Amino acid sequence: MRDFDVDLGRFQNRLADLLGERSAADAFSGTVLLERDAVPLFEGAYGYANRSWRVENRVGTRFRIASVSKMFTAVAVLQLVEAGDLSLDASVVSVLGLEDTAIPAEATVYHMLTMTSGIADWFEESGNWEEDWAQLCREHPIYLFRENEDYLPLFVDEPPLHPVGERFHYNGAGYILLGLLIERLTHMQYTEYVQRNVFHRAGMTRSGFVALDDVDPEVAEGYIPITDVDDQIVDWRKNIYSTTPEAAADGGATSTAGDLVRFLEALRGGRLLSPRMTDAMLTPHVPQREDQPRGYVWEYGYGNSFIRDQHGRILRWGHTGEEDGVSCRLYHYSGIDVDVVVLGNQSWCAGSLAWEIHDLIQEWKS
């Protein structure tokens, strides 16, 4: 591998061109930050935090981050495990008193963390996503979902999807249960515990739990594109009626690109967990996919998704976040110590962009 600083300017220019093109085509609104050894390699902000008043996004704008928050929940649970208040082998049913539900008694904290519990989700993220989500919203007023316990009626009496431990299946309900475990064992609200024991310890001073109907400074509004028959964007609508108003243990915190890099640095640096638990958090535990998109092996750990290259080396870890009006990616590239944050405030804008950034990184470092 050549010197990493060689061709940095060319890499930055190509990235700036890519983001400029995406923004001009209304394909991305948000902020992007790449950092290495506490030194920004690239940072930029695009689009509007508020379209009505044409308030532009800034590098320090705060964004809702959807399922990226699962990483905070996993850290919180592992803190309780290392403190001796909880075991990875503990039955979630026993701890929470859910014996009269369809949650299997043999489903443990480990199974919830690794999404191998097999339990039904509160919303199944497969099939016709938009149609299924619209149906859920018609049947269950989502503005009432304010606490972790509010989600229980949506899944605790549904039959499991597969036997416990059989395989990975993406699941937010398990993280709702983990949030309830945190509340039961600490006698604190989930959000309060994470604020004190994750955000504060990581120096994440601009992160929190902001409801969609809160009035809070420098928070980007979320937007959903309205398209015509040719799939061209003709207008926008806010996401206030199409996503849950409050954050829960499976997602929805509010943060900045800089704070999320601070989280990754604190996690790697052992400021959130002991060395043993840090290693557990940064280790894959189960296969995530049978196929190998882009030639990579995909695995999942404790609120953490990994890809390995053809030599078996962990290339990248982190998490994705998607909901109406929110699209985010948080990644650490292990071999080159580069953190990548993509925070978007319009639907489905971060995924393909993050892969293009990935390809630029691979070309740059090779």
Q: pLDDT tens digits, residue range 157-178?
A: 999 999 999 999 999 999 999 9
* Residue 318 zone, left/alpha/beta (φ > 0; ψ -120 to 50; rest): left
Domain extent listing, the chain: 8-365
Chain segment 124-147, per-residue pLDDT in tens:
776 677 788 788 888 888 888 999
Coil/strand/helix, residue 85: coil
Q: Per this entry, what is the length of the chain? A: 366
Q: Which residues have CB under 8 Å from 361's CB, separation 6+?
A: 333, 336, 338, 340
**Backbone CA torsion sign across 150, 67, 258, 275:** positive
Q: At how many degrees (to 10) do helices 173-186 and 70-82 cross? A: 40
Token pair recorded at residue 306? 């990994």
Instruction: Categorize the per-residue pLDDT at 4 as very low, low, confident or very high, splitting at 50, 70 and 90.
Output: low
Q: How far is CA 337 from CA 4, 150, 200, 302, 319, in A?
A: 11, 39, 23, 20, 16
What φ, ψ does residue 11 adopt, rounded to 5°?
-60, -45
pLDDT at 29: 98
pLDDT > 70: what percent of the chain? 98
| Class for the domain spanning 8-365 | alpha beta
Q: Look at the block and give the residue holding tokens 């890099």.
A: 261
d(C-alpha 366, C-alpha 110), whole Å: 37
Q: Which residues have CB under 8 Å from 247's CB, separation 6+?
A: 64, 69, 191, 209, 210, 211, 253, 254
pLDDT at 2: 46
Contact 314, 16 (CB under 8 A): no
Provide the pairing of β-strand 314-323 with 305-308. antiparallel
CB-neighbour burial class of residue 17 (10 A; exposed 0-12, middle 13-18, buried 19+):
exposed
d(C-alpha 41, C-alpha 5), whole Å: 10
Spatial CA neighbour of 251 closest among 62, 63, 68: 68
Chain segment 192-249, per-residue pLDDT in tens:
999 999 999 999 999 999 999 999 999 999 999 999 999 999 999 999 998 999 999 9
User: Lowest-confidence range among 7-11, 51-55, 146-150?
Assistant: 7-11
Rg (CA), the chain: 20
Max Cα–Cα distance, the chain, nearest Å:
62
pLDDT at 124: 79
pLDDT at 123: 87
Spatial CA neighbour of 107 closest among 42, 29, 162, 186: 162
Instruction: Categorize the per-residue pLDDT at 68 as very low, low, confident or very high, splitting at 50, 70 and 90.
Output: very high
d(C-alpha 125, C-alpha 132), whole Å: 9
Q: Which residues have CB under 8 Å from 28's CB, separation 6+?
A: 19, 22, 46, 47, 344, 346, 349, 350, 353
pLDDT at 365: 82
pLDDT at 3: 54
Token pair recorded at residue 140? 């269950």
DSSP 149-206: GGGGGGTTTSPPSS-TTS-----SHHHHHHHHHHHHHHSS-HHHHHIIIIIHHHT-TT
